[in-house]
Structures are given as C-alpha cells and as structure tokens.
Amino acid sequence: IRQCGFTCAIVAALMITLNSNGADIPAEREGMLEAIRESVRDSASYTGRSELSDRVMTAMASVPREEFVLPAYRHQAYDNTPLPIEAGQTISQPLIVALMTDLLDPQPGDVMLEVGTGSGYQAAVLSGLVDHLYSIEIVEELAASAAEVLVKLGYNNITARAGDGYADWPEHVPFDGIIVTAAADKLPPPLLKQLKPGGKLVIPVGAKHGYQELLLVEVDESGEISKRSVLPVRFVPLTGDR
Ligand code: SAM
C-alpha cells in the first residue's frame, strides 16, 4: 500500500493540468473540456460561435460533475453525454450546459433564474459567474437532493426550492437572465415577463420527445423581444398543470 501511495502520488501529479487561473484540473475533466471545444467547433455553423468564453470554460473546469451523477454513473461523469438522474430525469450533456451558459452571457452582478434544477450541476456552473442564482425544480425529491449537494460543495449564492418554474418567483423578479433546462411546447409568457430590459432567456422549445430547438430570446431596453434558434436539441419536457 505504501509503495502504491508513492507511485499513485506521482501518477496523480502527472494526470493533473492547470487551468488559466492556475487551478488543478483532473485529466478526465480536461478531457471533457476538450470534447466540448471540439463539439462547439463542429456545431459552429448552427450556433454562430466557434468557441465559448474563457469565463464559461473556467466555470466548467471548476465543477466536480461526479458529485452530481448517480453512483452507478460516476465512471462516466466526464463523458460528454447526458446521464440519468433520479426520478427518470437527466443531467444535461456538458456541451449543452456550456453552450446555454455562454448564450446567457452571465455577468458578475447578475441575478438569474434556472427552471429545472435537476441534479444541480448547471446551477453549480452558473454559481461562479453571477451574483445570485435562484433555481426551481418541480420534482421535490430532486430539489432536495440538489440543494443538499450544492450546500455540501459550498455553492452559497444559490437559492434552490421545489416548485413549478412556469409560474414566477415573485419575490425576486425581474432577472438578468433565465435558463430553462426542460423543453416547453412554446415560449412561456410568464417567464418572458420576468426578464429585465436587456435580459436573456435560453430555453429549449418544441414537441415533447420530438423536434426541439434551443432558443435565445432577448428583450431590449424598450421591451422589444427578439428570438434566435441556436441548435436542434432533445430535452425532457417542462411539466406542470396548465
Ligand atoms: N439543469 C439540470 C442539471 O444540471 O442537472 C438538468 C435538468 S433536467 C434536463 C430537467 C429538469 O427540469 C428535470 O429535473 C425536471 O424535473 C425539471 N422540470 C420539468 N418541468 C419543470 C417545471 N415546470 N418547473 C421546474 N422544473 C421542471
């Protein structure tokens, strides 16, 4: 064991690289970042961007995805794929998490809303990029487990709660940005009303389990709404009584 301890320490040292902030990045996570960079380049003709911002990539590098997946999938935590979580839901593909975060263009003073906390991974990525994140999850069991892991890992600028994110969270509106991580059949009017002038909404819209597109919706200073289709996607549906 002692011998392995010494050898393993050397191997571990060799398997760690440094990110632009000088922080250690485990080799598996660096592999995920490289897969994201490659997929972003491959999808540039759809998305209009051949790379994502350094701030977003640094945030992706900082979050231990293995803490947000089920124990049975820990060995796949850094694959660039969605994975099952509790309650038949999914943790999104790292590429999509990074792209949606980049589209939101989060700034240090921003207050944002996430609809669909799921595992809490997307919330953790946004945590380092904004002043405060409110995150809402309709499945109580998931809301509770995500809140627990986020607290355990020290993400202390996230307020997470159980509820239907289609409606508003009146105490905290308006938001600089809203990210919806489940597919709506159309743009939800209550969410559009919660955006500040200049705010952005990133949301998958389309048929349940069918064709969906990721939309970037922007409200300008005069309240004018514009929307752009960014990429065909496949998300679990936005649920709730309507
Ligand atoms: N952002 C998540 C993550 O990082 O793991 C991925 C979320 S998963 C793709 C979508 C989540 O949206 C599911 O956990 C689902 O229960 C939740 N959801 C669906 N409809 C919702 C609603 N009306 N309000 C809040 N959450 C909802």
Q: What is the mean pLDDT of the chain?
A: 90
> Is the shortest distance between the CB of 218 and ligand 1 below 6 Å?
no
Q: What percent of the chain has pLDDT over 70?
A: 90
Q: Which residues contact 23 (CB under 8 A, 6 or more apart)?
A: 61, 62
Q: Are 120 and 147 in contact (CB under 8 A)?
A: yes
Mind listing the pLDDT tens digit for each residue in 182-230?
999 999 999 999 999 999 999 999 999 899 999 999 999 998 999 999 9
Check pocket membership of 119 for ligand 1, CB cut-off 6 A.
yes
Q: Count other Cβ atoms within 10 Å, centred on residue 127.
A: 23
- Token readout for 222 is 């005069």
Closest residue by CA, ligand 1 atom 12: 116
Measured in angstroms, how far is the CA atom of residue 171 from the centroid of ligand 1? 21
* pLDDT reading at 2 higher than 60: no
Catalytic annotation present for 92: yes
CA of 94 to the centre of ligand 1 (A): 15
User: Which residue has tokens 């392995």?
Assistant: 4
| Rg from Cα positions in the chain | 18
* Alpha-carbon span 207 to 185, nearest angstrom: 6
Which of the following is catalytic: 20, 92, 135, 145? 92
Is residue 93 classed as helix, strand or coil in its secondary structure? coil
How many Å lie between the centroid of ligand 1 and the Cα of residue 27? 29
pLDDT of residue 190: 92
Whether 53 contacts 102, CB under 8 Å: yes
Q: Among all chains, which residue has been given the structure tokens 């592999």?
A: 31
State the pTM of this model: 0.91
User: What do you get for the CA distance between the two ends of the chain, in Å?
Assistant: 60
Burial 12-33 (b: 16+ CB within 10 A, else e): eeeeeeebeeeeebbeebbebb
177, 157 in Cβ contact below 8 A? Answer: no
Predicted confidence at residue 206, as pLDDT, reads 97
